[in-house]
Amino acid sequence: MIQTFSSTIRRREMDAVLTCMVDEKIGPGEINARLIQGVKEFFGCAGALALRSPEIGVKYAIEACGISKDSKIMISALAPYWQLFAIKQAGFEPLILDVDPSTCCVTAQIVEQGIKDGGRLLILHEPLGILPDFEEILALGIPVIEDVSQSAGAMIVEKEGENPDEANKAQKKTEEQNTEVKGKKAGSFGIFSICALEEHDIITAGGGAILMAPGRREWPVLKQLTENLPGIQMLPDINAALALVQLKEYKRNEQVRKEIFNLYNRAIMVGKNKTFVRELDYGSAAYSFPVVLNSGFKDVKQYTSKKDIEIVSAFSESVIGVLEKLKENLLEEEKNSYDYSACKNAKSLYLRTALFPLYPRLSRSQIDKIAKVLGTLP
């Protein structure tokens, strides 16, 4: 059976973790600091913290934004469920937003309605590596905390000139010359940014998160707030060692993932199903391969299982996914606090979106097999 997810952990990652164990560098220390330096270079941020969980990161980011306690914090219905619990733990009320069905992202129009409904801060999840329209969302003037757990490495490319054809030619020339592509990376659009490092995130440490301040003005605020950060909240060196190698290997891993993604994307076009709209070159990251199904998830899962391919529900661990599972056990006041009744598009995508295997360890024969199945799905 070809598993949906498989780690991109190679010998270098194993050696880094083993060295930590041999040197007895288990808790937070020197490698945590080295990871932070690597993050600053990778994302181009002014400062960062390596923490034990994304919930801790969100809590500090919310606190650093300085919003009043009666404010509502907006999150996507398809965001990871830990965002919901982090907001509640921080003492705020979540406002759950619907998404655009073609991209699975929130839009400026959706956020604008959220502001009218009392939203004062947006945690902007970038699902499955897809970037939203930052320009329109930021124009609303609402503070934004970016979640780049699935989109790290993606960027909005700087295009020279007004003519799209000329811009595309310039980009192609840059690629052919193998020079650095200029653009603004995911993680640099918000006031603060969070990058979870959980098992299935695009960069993993086996658990933990990076909290970043993209700008020089925001970093001192975050630094002062976390000056006496307890060790129990800091990412241990053994996890930081794994994340540090993952950062260094990102470009190579992502290149392989993109090549597989493009092959799958061509295969899905000949079938009855579809994937989400995205910018395929630099404006997205290849986080698994999502398919919006025409038929029921169970039927497709049975079909792929017979072909020895495992698929999983793309949004089973999302806000709406977890609330759907818990809804029978929620108290009435909790149901009101976690209201997602208006999220029709998100609920439909939760029920119909599957993830197919996409990772560098796949063999050529496995990739060809998955591509063939994608073109023949019921």
Taken in order 51, 56, 61, 64, the sign of the CA dihedral is negative
Question: For residue 38, is it left (φ>0), alpha (ψ between -120 and 50) or beta?
Answer: alpha
Query: CA 349, CA 61: separation in Å to the nearest integer?
Result: 29
What is the pLDDT tens value at each position of the chain, 378 positions in all?
A: 999 998 666 666 666 666 766 565 666 788 999 999 999 999 999 999 999 999 999 999 999 999 999 999 999 999 999 999 999 999 999 999 999 999 999 999 999 999 999 999 999 999 999 999 999 999 999 999 999 999 999 999 876 654 445 545 544 554 444 557 788 999 999 999 999 999 899 999 889 999 999 999 999 999 999 999 998 999 999 899 889 988 988 999 999 999 999 999 999 999 889 999 999 888 899 989 999 999 889 999 999 999 999 999 999 999 999 999 988 777 666 667 789 999 999 999 999 999 999 999 999 999 999 999 999 999
Q: How many beta carbons lie within 10 A of that of residue 129, not counting itself?
A: 26
The pTM score is 0.91
List the domain boundaries for the chain: 11-249, 252-374
In this prediction, residue 159 carries a pLDDT of: 67
Identify whether the C-beta of residue 87 lies closer than 8 Å to the C-beta of residue 112: no
Q: What CATH number matches the domain at 11-249, 3.40.640.10, 3.40.50.300, 3.30.530.20, 3.90.580.10?
A: 3.40.640.10
In this prediction, residue 275 carries a pLDDT of: 97
The arrangement of secondary structure in 252-374, i.e. its CATH architecture, is Alpha-Beta Complex (3.90)
Query: CA 208, CA 243: separation in Å to the nearest integer?
Result: 9
Q: What are phi and psi of 49, to 5 degrees?
A: -130, 140
Q: According to the 3-state scheme, what is the secondary structure of the chain?
A: CECCCCCCCCHHHHHHHHHHHHCCCCCCCHHHHHHHHHHHHHHCCCEEEEECCHHHHHHHHHHHHCCCCCCEEEEECCCEHHHHHHHHHCCCEEEEECCCCCCCCCCHHHHHHHHHCCEEEEEEECHHHECCCHHHHHCCCCCEEEECCCCCCCEEECCCCCCHHHHHHHHHHHHHCCCCCCEEECCCCCCEEEEECCCCCCCCCCCCEEEEECCCCCHHHHHHHCCCCCHHHECCHHHHHHHHHHHHHHHHHHHHHHHHHHHHHHHHCCCCCECCCCCCCCCECCCCEEEECCCCHHHHHHHHHHCCECCEECCCCEHHHHHHHHHHHCCHHHHHHCCCCCCHHHHHHHHHEEEECCCCCCCHHHHHHHHHHHCCCC
Tokens of 130: 């897809």
Tokens of 7: 């780690």
Query: CA 281, CA 274: separation in Å to the nearest integer?
Result: 18
In this prediction, residue 162 carries a pLDDT of: 44
